[in-house]
Structure 1
Amino acid sequence: MASSSSHFHYHKSRNDDAEFESLFDELLEIPDDIPEPKMRKKRAFIERHREEGDIKLWNDYFSETPTYPHNIFRRRFRMSKPLFMRIVHRLSTEVEYFAPTQDAVGRSSLSPLQKCTAAIRQLAYGGGADTVDEYVRCGETTARKCLHQFTAGIIHLFGDEFLRRPTPEDLERLLHIGEQRGFPGMIGSIDCMHWEWKNCPSSWKGMYSRGTDKPTIVLEAVASYDLWIWHAFFGGPGTMNDLNILERSPVFDDIIYGRSPQVDFTVNGREYNFAYYLTDDERRTETEDETFQGQDTSFCVKIPTELFTPVTVDDEK
């Protein structure tokens, strides 16, 4: 039996070759509308001669014969020189960021004086981080980091000492001063202020704006006659009034839960066991004095804050 098979023949023509080559060229052709990848920019390096800046800063304010006297130092740094040096010493020995270091080639980094001066100048004058570049010799990013590290370090090192509740000895002193000033039983003044928040997120503006289109953050503070602020409650939305803030503030928690220290004083023949805070709007209180003085001595409190989160603003405050 003979088998049968089918044979198929494919005849290749020149037209087929031309069509194939045309399709191949179209696939390989790069369209003109595809943008070329952009070259990644290298980080610009500016030689600021920070060592010379450190020497100039030392000769201007901290040498045995400084260029500028103590009164100019206090005006520009908003504090006395011994206090500033105490802060610099604590930060440089207890906060790693402010410790003197060297880079890989053995070159010294910014000195603790330069870093602290960069932070203080921003707090004192309310200028941007770039404003300290020409004198302190540090870039904008570094100056901003100095500010954040400075405020965080101050809170860490001095918060327990100054932001603490009065001890029995403190209460006795405050009560004595209050009685001498005609307010027996008063241990301080309490008040609230609104701080404009320039860079408030758009979705939050309704919650932080009241009466105006400018969002604000509320600061509640208790201050004594010597401007010791031992209580600060910060971060409330600007839509809240003073009573709303007091309802959320922990300032009266000790009284509510029975932990408040007992004090005894007499007014008009009647004995009282709890101290009080002065809130009379007709009298300029210590808290208002502190607020006005703080706005005069620290310009960053007077101008709108440009930070983005209440937590960060709280630290800078």
Structure 2
Amino acid sequence: MVDTDSSTSSYNDTLDFFEKAYNELEGSSRPKKKIVDRDRIHANEVLMKDYFVENPVYNAETFRDRFSLPKHLFLKILGDIEASEEWFQERYEGRGKRSFTPIQKCTSVVRQLTTDYPPDQFDEYLAMLDRTSCECLQFFCSVIIKLYAREFLRKPTRHDIPRIYVVYEAR
């Protein structure tokens, strides 16, 4: 059985050693950055309770208003992205902390795209820094293009045009 306290202590000692060595080589006397625990696990629980559990706080209509797409479509896109891109899968960071869940990452992106708010707008709700939100947006866009470009980012065919007109007339 591994003693987690001693292995954590050993890990921290090693990390401190390398940080000091790096600072000496760089001639840097910058103070050590303080890491703020934003409690992303709690933020995920709140997000799940609000929208994605069996009896969520907000109904499907509210979801569609806030995300500008139906929940089933959001979940389908999320599943496709999670299956094809490792970055969107849940994992652990170098510090041993759990990363953001795929649903948190996609929620950040979709809310940025639908509301045109800056990336730091959802910091308190998703516990996500603006830098991470921007990364999510970049990865999301590249994955969406990779997954759906052939089907949706092409010129319409002769068979597509009548369908498009029918949908347009219905609106």
User: Could you tell me which residue of structure 1 aligns to residue 15 of structure 2?
Assistant: none
**Counterpart secondary structure, 2:98:** coil
Task: Output the aligned Cα RMSD.
Answer: 2.5
The superposition leaves residues 151-195 of structure 1 with CA deviations (integer Å, 9 ceiling, x where unpaired) of 121111111111122334324x359x58xxxxxxxxxxxxxxxxx
Displacement of 1:43 in angstroms is: 3.3
Q: Which ranges in structure 1 are unaligned for 5 or more consecutive residues?
A: 1-36, 179-223, 228-288, 290-317
**Counterpart secondary structure, 1:108:** coil
Distance 1:105 1:126 in 2: 32
User: Could you tell me which residue of structure 2 aligns to residue 156 of structure 1?
Assistant: 146
**Partner of residue 103 from structure 2, selected from 113, 123, 126:** 113
Q: What letter is aligned with 1:53?
A: A
User: Could you tell me which residue of structure 1 aligns to residue 88 of structure 2?
Assistant: 98
Q: What letter is aligned with 2:87?
A: Y
Distance 1:126 1:41 in 2: 36
Q: Which has the higher strand share?
A: 1
Q: Is it true that 1:125 corresponds to 2:145 in the alignment?
A: no
The superposition leaves residues 205-261 of structure 1 with CA deviations (integer Å, 9 ceiling, x where unpaired) of xxxxxxxxxxxxxxxxxxx8379xxxxxxxxxxxxxxxxxxxxxxxxxxxxxxxxxx
Distance 1:59 1:51 in 2: 12
**Partner of residue 159 from structure 2, selected from 166, 169, 178:** 169
Displacement of 1:46 in angstroms is: 1.2
Distance 1:169 1:116, change over 3 A: same
Distance 2:169 2:142 in 1: 25
Distance 2:54 2:146 in 1: 31
Alignment of 1:232-251 (within 5 A): none
The superposition leaves residues 66-92 of structure 1 with CA deviations (integer Å, 9 ceiling, x where unpaired) of 000011100111100000001111111
User: Could you tell me which residue of structure 1 aligns to residue 69 of structure 2?
Assistant: 79
Q: Is it true that 1:135 corresponds to 2:125 in the alignment?
A: yes
Distance 1:82 1:226, change over 3 A: farther
Q: What letter is aligned with 2:168?
A: Y
Q: Is it true that 1:225 corresponds to 2:165 in the alignment?
A: no
User: Could you tell me which residue of structure 1 aligns to residue 50 of structure 2?
Assistant: 60
Report percent identity of matched pairs. Answer: 34
Moved over 4 A (4+): none
Distance 1:136 1:118 in 2: 7
Distance 1:161 1:66, change over 3 A: same
Distance 1:141 1:124 in 2: 19
Distance 1:41 1:141, change over 3 A: farther
Distance 2:118 2:134 in 1: 8
Q: Which ranges in structure 2 are unaligned for 5 or more consecutive residues?
A: 1-26
**Counterpart secondary structure, 2:123:** helix
- The count of aligned residue pairs is 145
User: Could you tell me which residue of structure 1 aligns to residue 18 of structure 2?
Assistant: none
**Partner of residue 42 from structure 1, selected from 32, 42, 65:** 32
User: Could you tell me which residue of structure 2 aligns to residue 31 of structure 1?
Assistant: none
Distance 1:67 1:107 in 2: 28
Distance 1:119 1:145 in 2: 9
Distance 2:58 2:64 in 1: 10
Distance 1:43 1:130 in 2: 20
Q: What letter is aligned with 1:92?
A: E
Residue range with higher mean Cα deviation, 125-134 or 95-104: 95-104
Q: What letter is aligned with 1:124?
A: T
